[in-house]
Amino acid sequence: MEGMFYNVNGGFVEGIVRGYRNTLLTAQNYSNLTQCETIDDVKLQLGPAYGDTLAALPPNPSTSSLASKTTEKLVADFRYLQAQATGSLAKFMEYLTYGYMIDNVALLITGTLHERDTRELLERCHPLGWFETLPVLCVATNIEELYNSVLIETPLAPYFKGSLSHQDLDELNIEIVRNTLYKNYLEDFYHFVNNHPDMRGTPTAEVMSGVLEFEADRRAINITINSFGTELSKSERQKLYPQFGKLYPEGSLMLSRADDIESVGLAVSGVGDYKSFFDQMNQSGGVGAGNMAGGSANEGKSLEDLFYQKEMELSKLVFTHQFTHAVIYAWVKLREQEIRNITWIAECIAQNQKDRIGNYITVF
């Protein structure tokens, strides 16, 4: 029933996204890529999928320019979809861009703090997270000013609740602001997909809830692990955990008390998927500070890889649902992973580290 009228507004966009999904690189493409000897070969192999986008690159481009060009393609495709979207779908796609906005805000505030030339930084902002008043951010020197003069007009304004208590801008506070914004954003997005009249009770709500819960849990776990040995206190850390997800509330509480990677493993053991991640890491012996270090010799996947793998599987599953906005979210995630894979492969080729080139993640 719920899909009866979906195609009136969303059918065209959904069809395009499904078409995009079919152009994603497959395992066959990746195995061809890993055979490449130079970045030029990589460029050549990417020709069918990326077409003219990579043509402007100089011979043997750096991996960062390769990454930025592939991102450009993603942005162009996204903008095209956005131009077609109406109603709740348009709102949904706006929500997708808020995450990038938060990253851009953090970049600019940090740059201001570091006395950088902000015009230079503006060029480096993610195009999906661009908003009109972004350049004005460079004048802000404390959070209150930032909020009152600049961000009040932007979609991010509601997310500032809870982070205005910090007055001074320093690295720690920026990190807290950024993560608080992201937490509020995720919670808002979750609320949006579950309560918007167009989406409530539809496959969109169901599917998006799943992927957003996963994202929330992953953030909580990452924040916890990365905070070991830093000046972030446990009580502050707890405020950064999104208040939904499979870990919330018991797991979050245990996470907030965790001191080391073992207690993180214990905290997430209530959720089967995450438990198996930590079990796999235990088996491969990659637990500890080196669990995410690329330099170690163990062939086992790192926790981050396992999370990315899971994210990709979830995104792939989204395409089995019909009449849902979630395919756009899934497609963006898949494309981002594709860019990460390409960058990784190019990086391994450039650094002559062929033995680790197989660490890309693919589900197709």
Partner 1 sequence: MSNPAALPTPPGSSSSSSSSPSATNAPEASDAISRLDALLEIYLDRLDRYQRLREELSQNFSAGFLSLAYANRSGNLGSGRRYGEEGYDARMKAGRRVRIQTKPGKAADLVGGAGACRKKKHVEEGADQRGPHSSGGGGGGGGGTIRYTTEQLIPSCEDDAEDETAHSPVVPYEMTAAQKAFISPPRDEKPSSSTTGPAADADTNTNTNNTRLPPPPLTPASSSLSSTQPPPPPPPPPNHTTNSSQQQPRSKSKSKSSKSKTKKAVNPLNWYGVLVPASLRAAQTSFACAIQGPIPQLVNIQLEMRDLECQIRKIRAEAGLTRLTGQDVE
- Chain residues that interact with partner 1, rule: CB under 8 A: 63-64, 67-68, 71, 99-100, 102-104, 106-107, 110-111, 114-117, 120-121, 124, 126, 170-172, 174-175, 178-179, 222-223, 225-227, 229-232, 289-295, 304, 336, 339-340, 343-344, 347-348, 351, 353, 356
SS3 147: helix
**Residue 191: CB minimum distance to partner 1, A:** 22
**Residue 313: CB minimum distance to partner 1, A:** 17
**Residue 226: CB minimum distance to partner 1, A:** 4
Rounded Cα distance, 25 and 344, in Å: 14
Cβ proximity to partner 1: between 58 and 229 the closer is 229
In whole angstroms, how far apart are CA 299 and each of 13, 247, 362? 40, 28, 17
Q: What angle do CA 13, 218, 339 make, to 5 degrees?
A: 50
Are 228 and 260 contacting, i.e. CB atoms less than 8 angstroms apart?
yes
Residues 6+ apart with CB under 8 A from 91: 192, 196
Rounded Cα distance, 207 and 205, in Å: 6
Cβ proximity to partner 1: between 70 and 204 the closer is 70
**Residue 303: CB minimum distance to partner 1, A:** 10
Cβ proximity to partner 1: between 3 and 290 the closer is 290
Run of H or E including 276: helix 272-284
| Helix count and strand count (H, E) for the chain | 16, 0
Cβ proximity to partner 1: between 199 and 348 the closer is 348
Cβ proximity to partner 1: between 88 and 104 the closer is 104
Residue type, 88: S
**Residue 58: CB minimum distance to partner 1, A:** 18
Of residues 285, 277, 159, the one with CA closest to residue 218: 277
Of residues 77, 42, 35, 76, the one with CA closest to residue 57: 42
- Residue where the block lists tokens 């990579």: 54
Cβ proximity to partner 1: between 205 and 220 the closer is 220
**Residue 141: CB minimum distance to partner 1, A:** 15
**Residue 353: CB minimum distance to partner 1, A:** 6
Cβ proximity to partner 1: between 59 and 295 the closer is 295
Residue type, 44: L
